[in-house]
Amino acid sequence: MRKSSVDDPLFDRKNTQDNTPAIIHVTVVKGDKVKLTLSPKGCGSENMGALKMLKPSDGVDGVIKFVVDTVRNAGPNPCPPVTVGVGIGGNMELATYLAKHSLTRPVGEHNQDPRYAELEKELLHRVNMTGIGPSGLGGSTTAVAVNVEYAPTHIGALPVAVNLNCHAARCAQVVL
């Protein structure tokens, strides 16, 4: 992989020459196995993500509008057709994590909650109605999937994050 990490994000921007440090998330679960999930991303798609702190009264319509607007504003930059990751709930930090984590779910595997599975289908339909299409050249396949993950949140909040994967959608898992 191309050496594309810098040690200081603002001032020096000196290349680390080894793509470190990696960003690692750990979840402790029951059992005697370890599952490793690797999901390297390029910044063409990563830079197109967004976070918005909606009002709870914005509801489902507000979430749909924000997701579709984010994809529309990204246009061809994330190398469509994309996979759209959406995180809803938690706080600012958790919503963005959920959006990224949702992208590790295989295309075609829907959220286990039927309400969120329906939301995924509606979002996919609406995103594909933008007409951005493959490579931004127009068409009806702007996204191949929309994956939504959610978490409990404060009564006064409705954080929503969108994270886009380019057409390559690199992800690998192994259980040890």
Please give the span between the terminal C-alpha atoms of the chain, in angstroms, as a whole number: 24
- What is the SS3 assignment for 15? strand
42-169 folds as: 60s Ribosomal Protein L30; Chain: A; (3.30.1330)
Q: Give the span between the Cα atoms of 110 and 129, in whole angstroms.
A: 20
**Domain boundaries, given as residue ranges, for the chain:** 42-169
pTM (whole model) above 0.85? yes
H helical segments located in 75-176: 92-102, 114-128
Are 62 and 55 spatial neighbours (Cβ–Cβ below 8 Å)? yes
pLDDT at position 23 over 90: no
pLDDT at position 150 over 90: yes
Tens of pLDDT, residue by residue over 39-93, are: 887 787 889 999 999 999 999 999 999 999 999 999 999 999 999 999 999 999 9
Task: Please name which of 80, 121, 86, 82 lies closest in space to residue 100, comparing C-alpha atoms.
Answer: 86
Q: Give the span between the Cα atoms of 132 and 58, in whole angstroms.
A: 26
Q: Give the span between the Cα atoms of 136 and 134, in whole angstroms.
A: 5
- According to the model, what pLDDT value does residue 103 have? 95
Instruction: Determine which of 28-37, 65-74, 132-141 has the lowest per-residue pLDDT on average.
Output: 28-37
Which tokens sit at 91?
């706080």
> 22-38: string of b/e by CB count within 10 Å (b at 16+)?
eeeeeeeeeeeeeeeee
